[in-house]
Protein backbone atom coordinates (compact mmCIF):
# COMPACT_ATOMS: atom_id res chain seq x y z
CA UNK A 1 0.00 0.00 0.00
CA UNK A 2 2.84 2.34 0.86
CA UNK A 3 4.42 1.76 -2.58
CA UNK A 4 1.12 2.47 -4.35
CA UNK A 5 0.71 5.67 -2.35
CA UNK A 6 4.18 6.85 -3.38
CA UNK A 7 3.38 6.15 -7.05
CA UNK A 8 0.08 8.07 -6.81
CA UNK A 9 1.83 11.00 -5.16
CA UNK A 10 4.47 11.03 -7.89
CA UNK A 11 1.90 10.97 -10.67
CA UNK A 12 -0.04 13.73 -8.94
CA UNK A 13 3.06 15.93 -8.74
CA UNK A 14 3.78 15.32 -12.42
CA UNK A 15 0.26 16.34 -13.36
CA UNK A 16 0.28 19.54 -11.32
CA UNK A 17 3.79 20.48 -12.45
CA UNK A 18 3.06 20.13 -16.19
CA UNK A 19 1.33 23.55 -16.59
CA UNK A 20 4.25 25.27 -14.82
CA UNK A 21 6.81 23.49 -16.97
CA UNK A 22 4.88 24.35 -20.14
CA UNK A 23 4.59 28.00 -19.13
CA UNK A 24 8.30 28.26 -18.23
CA UNK A 25 9.17 26.53 -21.50
CA UNK A 26 7.03 28.98 -23.45
CA UNK A 27 8.66 31.94 -21.72
CA UNK A 28 12.11 30.53 -22.44
CA UNK A 29 11.28 29.81 -26.05
CA UNK A 30 9.55 33.13 -26.79
CA UNK A 31 12.79 35.07 -27.52
CA UNK A 32 14.04 32.21 -29.66
CA UNK A 33 10.82 32.12 -31.67
CA UNK A 34 10.90 35.86 -32.29
CA UNK A 35 14.58 35.75 -33.29
CA UNK A 36 14.75 32.75 -35.61
CA UNK A 37 11.20 32.27 -36.83
CA UNK A 38 11.86 33.58 -40.35
CA UNK A 39 8.99 36.06 -40.05
CA UNK A 40 8.84 38.90 -42.57
CA UNK A 41 7.36 41.02 -39.76
CA UNK A 42 5.66 40.43 -36.38
CA UNK A 43 2.39 38.52 -36.56
CA UNK A 44 -0.54 40.94 -36.83
CA UNK A 45 -3.47 39.92 -34.63
CA UNK A 46 -6.06 40.94 -37.20
CA UNK A 47 -4.38 38.90 -39.98
CA UNK A 48 -3.24 35.61 -38.47
CA UNK A 49 -5.94 32.92 -38.68
CA UNK A 50 -5.82 30.14 -36.11
CA UNK A 51 -5.89 26.46 -36.95
CA UNK A 52 -5.16 23.02 -35.42
CA UNK A 53 -1.62 22.88 -34.04
CA UNK A 54 -1.26 26.53 -33.01
CA UNK A 55 -0.24 27.06 -29.36
CA UNK A 56 -1.59 29.97 -27.31
CA UNK A 57 -0.61 31.47 -23.97
CA UNK A 58 -3.84 32.63 -22.31
CA UNK A 59 -3.28 35.33 -19.66
CA UNK A 60 -5.97 36.45 -17.20
CA UNK A 61 -5.41 39.65 -15.21
CA UNK A 62 -7.52 41.78 -12.85
CA UNK A 63 -9.54 40.30 -10.00
CA UNK A 64 -7.59 37.07 -10.50
CA UNK A 65 -4.23 36.55 -12.15
CA UNK A 66 -2.96 33.40 -13.81
CA UNK A 67 -2.00 32.02 -17.22
CA UNK A 68 -1.82 28.72 -19.01
CA UNK A 69 -0.82 27.30 -22.39
CA UNK A 70 -3.31 25.53 -24.62
CA UNK A 71 -3.23 24.25 -28.19
CA UNK A 72 -5.85 24.39 -30.90
CA UNK A 73 -7.16 20.83 -31.10
CA UNK A 74 -7.93 18.91 -34.28
CA UNK A 75 -11.56 20.08 -34.06
CA UNK A 76 -10.40 23.72 -34.01
CA UNK A 77 -11.14 24.31 -30.30
CA UNK A 78 -9.11 25.44 -27.29
CA UNK A 79 -9.75 24.72 -23.61
CA UNK A 80 -10.87 27.11 -20.87
CA UNK A 81 -8.82 26.24 -17.77
CA UNK A 82 -9.80 27.48 -14.31
CA UNK A 83 -7.71 27.19 -11.13
CA UNK A 84 -9.70 25.10 -8.63
CA UNK A 85 -7.13 24.51 -5.91
CA UNK A 86 -3.54 25.02 -4.88
CA UNK A 87 -1.12 22.29 -3.95
CA UNK A 88 1.95 22.97 -1.81
CA UNK A 89 5.14 21.76 -3.50
CA UNK A 90 7.49 23.40 -1.02
CA UNK A 91 7.08 25.11 2.33
CA UNK A 92 6.35 28.55 0.85
CA UNK A 93 5.45 27.57 -2.74
CA UNK A 94 1.96 26.70 -3.93
CA UNK A 95 1.12 25.27 -7.33
CA UNK A 96 -2.33 25.95 -8.83
CA UNK A 97 -4.36 23.00 -10.00
CA UNK A 98 -6.54 23.54 -13.07
CA UNK A 99 -9.73 22.03 -14.37
CA UNK A 100 -10.96 22.25 -17.93
CA UNK A 101 -14.45 23.68 -17.75
CA UNK A 102 -15.24 24.37 -21.38
CA UNK A 103 -13.92 24.48 -24.96
CA UNK A 104 -14.15 27.39 -27.36
CA UNK A 105 -14.06 27.08 -31.20
CA UNK A 106 -11.38 29.35 -32.66
CA UNK A 107 -10.70 27.75 -36.05
CA UNK A 108 -10.26 30.32 -38.83
CA UNK A 109 -10.62 33.20 -36.35
CA UNK A 110 -7.90 35.83 -36.15
CA UNK A 111 -6.21 36.44 -32.79
CA UNK A 112 -8.41 39.42 -31.95
CA UNK A 113 -11.61 37.51 -32.70
CA UNK A 114 -10.39 34.51 -30.70
CA UNK A 115 -9.56 36.75 -27.72
CA UNK A 116 -13.09 38.18 -27.76
CA UNK A 117 -14.62 34.68 -27.87
CA UNK A 118 -12.43 33.46 -25.00
CA UNK A 119 -13.14 36.55 -22.88
CA UNK A 120 -16.90 36.05 -23.29
CA UNK A 121 -16.58 32.58 -21.75
CA UNK A 122 -14.30 33.69 -18.91
CA UNK A 123 -16.73 36.44 -17.92
CA UNK A 124 -19.18 33.69 -17.05
CA UNK A 125 -16.82 32.70 -14.21
CA UNK A 126 -15.05 35.95 -13.21
CA UNK A 127 -15.79 39.66 -13.01
CA UNK A 128 -13.43 42.57 -13.46
CA UNK A 129 -10.85 40.68 -15.48
CA UNK A 130 -9.06 41.19 -18.76
CA UNK A 131 -7.92 38.52 -21.18
CA UNK A 132 -4.96 38.42 -23.53
CA UNK A 133 -3.72 35.66 -25.81
CA UNK A 134 -0.23 35.25 -27.26
CA UNK A 135 0.78 33.02 -30.15
CA UNK A 136 3.71 30.96 -28.79
CA UNK A 137 3.73 28.07 -31.28
CA UNK A 138 2.91 28.05 -34.96
CA UNK A 139 1.28 25.09 -36.65
CA UNK A 140 2.51 23.27 -39.74
CA UNK A 141 0.23 22.01 -42.46
CA UNK A 142 0.43 20.18 -45.75
CA UNK A 143 0.75 21.84 -49.15
CA UNK A 144 0.99 20.00 -52.48
CA UNK A 145 3.32 21.33 -55.20
CA UNK A 146 2.83 19.83 -58.67
CA UNK A 147 3.47 20.56 -62.34
CA UNK A 148 6.67 21.92 -63.87
CA UNK A 149 8.81 21.75 -60.72
CA UNK A 150 11.99 19.77 -60.22
CA UNK A 151 10.70 17.52 -57.43
CA UNK A 152 6.89 17.55 -57.18
CA UNK A 153 5.61 16.49 -53.78
CA UNK A 154 4.13 17.33 -50.38
CA UNK A 155 5.56 20.02 -48.14
CA UNK A 156 5.00 20.91 -44.47
CA UNK A 157 4.62 24.71 -44.39
CA UNK A 158 3.53 27.40 -41.93
CA UNK A 159 0.94 30.19 -42.22
CA UNK A 160 3.74 32.73 -42.74
CA UNK A 161 5.06 30.91 -45.85
CA UNK A 162 4.40 32.15 -49.37
CA UNK A 163 4.28 30.50 -52.80
CA UNK A 164 7.95 31.35 -53.42
CA UNK A 165 8.88 29.45 -50.23
CA UNK A 166 7.10 26.34 -51.45
CA UNK A 167 8.76 26.59 -54.87
CA UNK A 168 12.19 27.03 -53.29
CA UNK A 169 11.76 24.06 -50.92
CA UNK A 170 10.67 21.82 -53.79
CA UNK A 171 13.89 22.54 -55.72
CA UNK A 172 12.69 25.28 -58.06
CA UNK A 173 10.83 25.44 -61.36
CA UNK A 174 11.99 23.58 -64.47
CA UNK A 175 13.21 25.47 -67.52
CA UNK A 176 9.78 24.97 -69.10
CA UNK A 177 7.75 26.06 -66.06
CA UNK A 178 5.84 29.32 -65.87
CA UNK A 179 6.87 31.85 -63.23
CA UNK A 180 3.98 34.21 -63.89
CA UNK A 181 0.94 31.90 -63.98
CA UNK A 182 1.29 29.71 -60.89
CA UNK A 183 -2.16 28.55 -59.80
CA UNK A 184 -3.24 28.29 -56.14
CA UNK A 185 -5.98 25.68 -55.90
CA UNK A 186 -8.04 25.54 -52.69
CA UNK A 187 -10.87 23.06 -52.21
CA UNK A 188 -10.86 22.27 -55.92
CA UNK A 189 -11.06 25.88 -57.12
CA UNK A 190 -8.38 28.28 -58.38
CA UNK A 191 -8.38 31.04 -55.76
CA UNK A 192 -5.35 32.99 -56.94
CA UNK A 193 -2.46 33.33 -59.38
CA UNK A 194 1.11 33.88 -58.20
CA UNK A 195 3.45 35.86 -60.46
CA UNK A 196 6.98 35.25 -59.18
CA UNK A 197 8.42 37.19 -62.14
CA UNK A 198 6.67 40.30 -60.85
CA UNK A 199 7.63 39.55 -57.25
CA UNK A 200 11.32 39.09 -58.10
CA UNK A 201 11.45 42.32 -60.08
CA UNK A 202 9.32 44.60 -57.91
CA UNK A 203 8.94 42.92 -54.51
CA UNK A 204 5.15 43.06 -54.86
CA UNK A 205 3.89 40.73 -52.10
CA UNK A 206 0.44 40.59 -53.71
CA UNK A 207 2.07 38.63 -56.54
CA UNK A 208 3.44 36.11 -54.02
CA UNK A 209 0.48 35.17 -51.79
CA UNK A 210 0.53 33.28 -48.50
CA UNK A 211 -0.32 29.57 -48.63
CA UNK A 212 -3.03 27.89 -46.57
CA UNK A 213 -3.80 24.43 -45.23
CA UNK A 214 -4.22 21.87 -48.00
CA UNK A 215 -3.43 24.22 -50.90
CA UNK A 216 -2.35 22.75 -54.22
CA UNK A 217 0.26 24.86 -56.00
CA UNK A 218 0.23 24.07 -59.72
CA UNK A 219 3.09 25.32 -61.90
CA UNK A 220 1.97 25.10 -65.56
CA UNK A 221 4.19 24.99 -68.62
CA UNK A 222 5.02 28.28 -70.35
CA UNK A 223 2.77 28.92 -73.33
CA UNK A 224 5.01 31.45 -75.14
CA UNK A 225 8.77 31.77 -74.79
CA UNK A 226 11.74 33.90 -75.79
CA UNK A 227 15.37 32.78 -75.60
CA UNK A 228 17.63 35.43 -74.06
CA UNK A 229 21.35 34.89 -74.41
CA UNK A 230 24.61 36.75 -74.08
CA UNK A 231 25.80 39.40 -71.64
CA UNK A 232 22.87 39.32 -69.21
CA UNK A 233 23.01 38.18 -65.61
CA UNK A 234 20.38 35.50 -66.17
CA UNK A 235 17.87 34.03 -63.74
CA UNK A 236 17.90 30.54 -65.19
CA UNK A 237 21.56 29.53 -64.84
CA UNK A 238 24.73 30.73 -66.46
CA UNK A 239 28.14 29.51 -67.55
CA UNK A 240 31.57 31.09 -67.28
CA UNK A 241 33.74 31.60 -70.30
CA UNK A 242 37.18 33.08 -70.93
CA UNK A 243 37.03 36.12 -73.20
CA UNK A 244 39.42 35.78 -76.16
CA UNK A 245 40.52 39.40 -76.23
CA UNK A 246 40.53 40.31 -72.53
CA UNK A 247 41.56 36.92 -71.11
CA UNK A 248 39.25 37.61 -68.15
CA UNK A 249 36.47 35.40 -66.89
CA UNK A 250 33.08 36.68 -67.93
CA UNK A 251 29.59 35.42 -67.30
CA UNK A 252 27.30 34.71 -70.20
CA UNK A 253 23.80 33.41 -69.92
CA UNK A 254 21.29 31.56 -72.03
CA UNK A 255 17.81 30.90 -70.77
CA UNK A 256 14.23 30.35 -71.84
CA UNK A 257 11.93 33.05 -70.50
CA UNK A 258 8.17 33.29 -70.48
CA UNK A 259 6.67 35.83 -72.85
CA UNK A 260 3.50 37.61 -71.78
CA UNK A 261 1.46 39.20 -74.53
CA UNK A 262 2.59 42.77 -75.20
CA UNK A 263 6.05 42.42 -73.63
CA UNK A 264 8.94 44.14 -75.41
CA UNK A 265 12.71 43.92 -75.57
CA UNK A 266 13.19 45.91 -72.34
CA UNK A 267 10.77 43.63 -70.45
CA UNK A 268 12.71 40.49 -71.35
CA UNK A 269 16.02 42.13 -70.46
CA UNK A 270 14.57 42.84 -67.00
CA UNK A 271 13.38 39.24 -66.67
CA UNK A 272 16.86 38.03 -67.59
CA UNK A 273 18.40 39.99 -64.73
CA UNK A 274 19.65 43.02 -66.64
CA UNK A 275 22.86 43.74 -68.55
CA UNK A 276 26.33 42.79 -67.36
CA UNK A 277 29.05 45.48 -67.30
CA UNK A 278 30.65 43.92 -70.37
CA UNK A 279 27.49 44.01 -72.49
CA UNK A 280 27.49 45.76 -75.86
CA UNK A 281 23.90 47.06 -75.96
CA UNK A 282 24.28 48.82 -79.32
CA UNK A 283 24.87 45.45 -81.01
CA UNK A 284 21.78 43.81 -79.51
CA UNK A 285 19.50 42.05 -81.97
CA UNK A 286 16.36 39.95 -82.17
CA UNK A 287 16.42 36.89 -84.39
CA UNK A 288 12.98 36.05 -85.74
CA UNK A 289 12.99 33.10 -88.13
CA UNK A 290 15.65 34.10 -90.70
CA UNK A 291 15.42 37.83 -89.95
CA UNK A 292 17.77 39.78 -87.69
CA UNK A 293 16.38 42.95 -86.14
CA UNK A 294 19.04 45.15 -84.55
CA UNK A 295 17.97 47.39 -81.67
CA UNK A 296 19.75 50.16 -79.77
CA UNK A 297 19.34 48.77 -76.29
CA UNK A 298 21.18 51.69 -74.69
CA UNK A 299 18.49 54.09 -75.90
CA UNK A 300 15.66 51.65 -75.23
CA UNK A 301 16.56 51.27 -71.56
CA UNK A 302 16.58 55.06 -71.20
CA UNK A 303 13.30 55.50 -73.07
CA UNK A 304 11.21 52.28 -73.25
CA UNK A 305 8.64 54.10 -75.45
CA UNK A 306 11.03 54.14 -78.41
CA UNK A 307 9.74 52.52 -81.59
CA UNK A 308 12.66 50.10 -81.76
CA UNK A 309 11.66 48.65 -78.37
CA UNK A 310 9.72 46.14 -80.42
CA UNK A 311 7.05 43.78 -79.15
CA UNK A 312 8.45 40.26 -79.08
CA UNK A 313 6.86 37.14 -80.55
CA UNK A 314 6.79 33.51 -79.46
CA UNK A 315 10.06 31.80 -80.42
CA UNK A 316 12.14 35.00 -80.77
CA UNK A 317 15.82 34.93 -79.77
CA UNK A 318 17.18 38.04 -78.06
CA UNK A 319 20.99 38.29 -78.07
CA UNK A 320 23.10 40.84 -76.18
CA UNK A 321 26.74 40.46 -77.33
CA UNK A 322 29.70 41.27 -75.12
CA UNK A 323 31.92 44.16 -76.10
CA UNK A 324 34.41 41.76 -77.61
CA UNK A 325 32.05 39.16 -79.04
CA UNK A 326 32.57 40.21 -82.63
CA UNK A 327 33.93 38.25 -85.57
CA UNK A 328 35.83 40.13 -88.30
CA UNK A 329 35.45 39.05 -91.94
CA UNK A 330 38.05 40.74 -94.16
CA UNK A 331 39.35 40.59 -97.71
CA UNK A 332 37.60 39.49 -100.86
CA UNK A 333 34.02 39.18 -99.64
CA UNK A 334 30.96 41.17 -100.66
CA UNK A 335 30.56 42.99 -97.30
CA UNK A 336 33.74 42.91 -95.22
CA UNK A 337 32.87 44.02 -91.67
CA UNK A 338 32.67 43.04 -88.00
CA UNK A 339 29.73 40.72 -87.28
CA UNK A 340 28.14 39.72 -83.93
CA UNK A 341 29.34 36.39 -82.66
CA UNK A 342 26.93 33.46 -82.82
CA UNK A 343 27.75 30.16 -81.17
CA UNK A 344 28.50 27.01 -83.22
CA UNK A 345 28.97 28.75 -86.58
CA UNK A 346 31.89 27.78 -88.84
CA UNK A 347 34.19 30.03 -90.83
CA UNK A 348 32.26 29.43 -94.07
CA UNK A 349 29.05 30.43 -92.29
CA UNK A 350 30.53 33.85 -91.52
CA UNK A 351 31.81 34.22 -95.08
CA UNK A 352 28.23 33.56 -96.16
CA UNK A 353 26.94 36.14 -93.66
CA UNK A 354 29.38 38.63 -95.25
CA UNK A 355 27.73 38.05 -98.63
CA UNK A 356 30.04 35.30 -99.88
CA UNK A 357 33.39 35.46 -101.70
CA UNK A 358 34.04 37.76 -104.68
CA UNK A 359 34.96 36.29 -108.07
CA UNK A 360 38.68 36.94 -107.50
CA UNK A 361 38.72 35.44 -103.98
CA UNK A 362 41.36 32.83 -103.25
CA UNK A 363 39.42 30.40 -101.04
CA UNK A 364 42.38 28.02 -100.88
CA UNK A 365 44.28 30.71 -98.99
CA UNK A 366 41.40 31.79 -96.75
CA UNK A 367 42.26 31.42 -93.09
CA UNK A 368 41.16 32.26 -89.55
CA UNK A 369 43.55 34.29 -87.42
CA UNK A 370 43.13 33.41 -83.73
CA UNK A 371 45.89 35.11 -81.76
CA UNK A 372 49.15 33.67 -83.11
CA UNK A 373 47.36 30.67 -84.60
CA UNK A 374 46.35 30.46 -88.26
CA UNK A 375 43.63 27.97 -89.25
CA UNK A 376 42.84 27.00 -92.85
CA UNK A 377 39.25 27.59 -93.91
CA UNK A 378 39.41 25.08 -96.77
CA UNK A 379 41.00 22.24 -94.78
CA UNK A 380 39.48 22.76 -91.31
CA UNK A 381 36.53 25.16 -91.62
CA UNK A 382 36.84 25.68 -87.84
CA UNK A 383 34.08 26.67 -85.45
CA UNK A 384 34.51 30.39 -84.87
CA UNK A 385 35.21 31.94 -81.47
CA UNK A 386 34.74 35.51 -80.27
CA UNK A 387 37.36 37.88 -81.66
CA UNK A 388 38.39 35.63 -84.58
CA UNK A 389 39.47 37.29 -87.84
CA UNK A 390 38.56 35.59 -91.11
CA UNK A 391 40.72 36.69 -94.04
CA UNK A 392 39.89 35.85 -97.65
CA UNK A 393 42.86 36.84 -99.91
CA UNK A 394 42.77 37.74 -103.55
CA UNK A 395 43.89 35.27 -106.22
CA UNK A 396 47.43 36.06 -107.37
CA UNK A 397 46.91 35.13 -111.00
CA UNK A 398 43.96 37.47 -111.14
CA UNK A 399 46.28 40.29 -110.08
CA UNK A 400 48.61 39.64 -113.10
CA UNK A 401 45.65 39.01 -115.37
CA UNK A 402 44.43 42.52 -114.59
CA UNK A 403 47.77 43.94 -115.74
CA UNK A 404 47.67 41.85 -118.93
CA UNK A 405 44.17 43.05 -119.67
CA UNK A 406 45.16 46.67 -118.98
CA UNK A 407 48.26 46.22 -121.17
CA UNK A 408 46.14 44.80 -123.99
CA UNK A 409 43.79 47.76 -123.82
CA UNK A 410 46.73 50.21 -123.85
CA UNK A 411 48.37 48.41 -126.80
CA UNK A 412 45.10 48.48 -128.71
CA UNK A 413 44.81 52.22 -128.13
CA UNK A 414 48.42 52.79 -129.30
CA UNK A 415 47.86 50.77 -132.49
CA UNK A 416 44.67 52.65 -133.21
CA UNK A 417 46.47 55.96 -132.70
CA UNK A 418 49.37 54.99 -134.98
CA UNK A 419 46.99 53.83 -137.67
CA UNK A 420 45.17 57.16 -137.63
CA UNK A 421 48.47 59.10 -137.72
CA UNK A 422 49.90 57.10 -140.68
CA UNK A 423 46.78 57.75 -142.70
| pLDDT tens-place string over residues 72-84 | 999 999 999 998 8
Q: What pLDDT, on the 0 to 100 scale, is given for residue 395?
A: 86
Q: Which residues contact 1 (CB under 8 A, 6 or more apart)?
A: none
Does the pLDDT at position 90 exceed 80?
A: no
Quote the CA–CA distance of 177 and 151 in Å, as a whole number: 12
CATH number for 298: 3.10.560
Average pLDDT in the chain: 84
Does the pLDDT at position 236 exceed 70?
A: no
Q: What pLDDT, on the 0 to 100 scale, is given for residue 36?
A: 46
Please tell me the total count of domains within the chain.
4
Q: Is the pTM of this model over 0.75?
A: no
85, 152: one domain: no
Quote the CA–CA distance of 170 and 196 in Å, as a whole number: 15
295: nearest Cα among 313, 283, 311, 279: 283
349, 376: one domain: yes
Convert the pLDDT of each residue in 250-306 to its tens digit. 556 788 999 999 999 999 999 998 998 888 898 899 999 989 999 999 999 999 999
305, 382: one domain: no
The answer as to whether 411 is a domain residue is no
344, 360: one domain: yes
The answer as to whether 63 is a domain residue is yes
Does the pLDDT at position 32 exceed 60?
A: no
For CA atoms 9, 17, 93, 101, the dihedral sign is negative
Q: Number of C-alpha atoms within 13 angstroms, CB side, residue 64?
A: 12
The answer as to whether 386 is a domain residue is yes
* Range in 132-136, 366-370, 393-397 with the lowest mean pLDDT: 393-397
Q: What pLDDT, on the 0 to 100 scale, is given for residue 131?
A: 95
Quote the CA–CA distance of 117 and 27 in Å, as a whole number: 24
**Which domain-ending residue is among 164, 187, 219?**
219
**DSSP percent split of the chain into helix, strand, coil, nearest 5:** 30, 35, 35
**Which domain-ending residue is among 83, 118, 137?**
137
Q: What pLDDT, on the 0 to 100 scale, is given for residue 358?
A: 94
Are the CB atoms for 170 and 150 separated by under 8 Å? Answer: yes
Q: What pLDDT, on the 0 to 100 scale, is given for residue 71?
A: 96
102: nearest Cα among 91, 87, 117, 89: 117
CATH number for 150: 3.10.560.10
Name the residue range of residue 378's domain.
326-392
Beta bridge partners of 93: 90
330: nearest Cα among 296, 354, 310: 354
230, 302: one domain: yes
Does the pLDDT at position 14 exceed 70?
A: no
Amino acid sequence: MKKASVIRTGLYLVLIMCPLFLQLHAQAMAPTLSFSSGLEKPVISEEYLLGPGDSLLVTITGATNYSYITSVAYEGKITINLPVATVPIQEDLLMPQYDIVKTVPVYDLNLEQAKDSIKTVFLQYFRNIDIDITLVGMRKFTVFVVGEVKTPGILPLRPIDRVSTAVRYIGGITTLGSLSSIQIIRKGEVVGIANLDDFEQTGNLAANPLVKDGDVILVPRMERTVTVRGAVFGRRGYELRVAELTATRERTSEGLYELIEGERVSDLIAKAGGLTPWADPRQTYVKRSEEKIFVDLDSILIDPQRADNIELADGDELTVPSVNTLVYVQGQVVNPAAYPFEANLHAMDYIGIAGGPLSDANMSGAHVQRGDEKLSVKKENPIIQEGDRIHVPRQVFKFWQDYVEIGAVVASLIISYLTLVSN
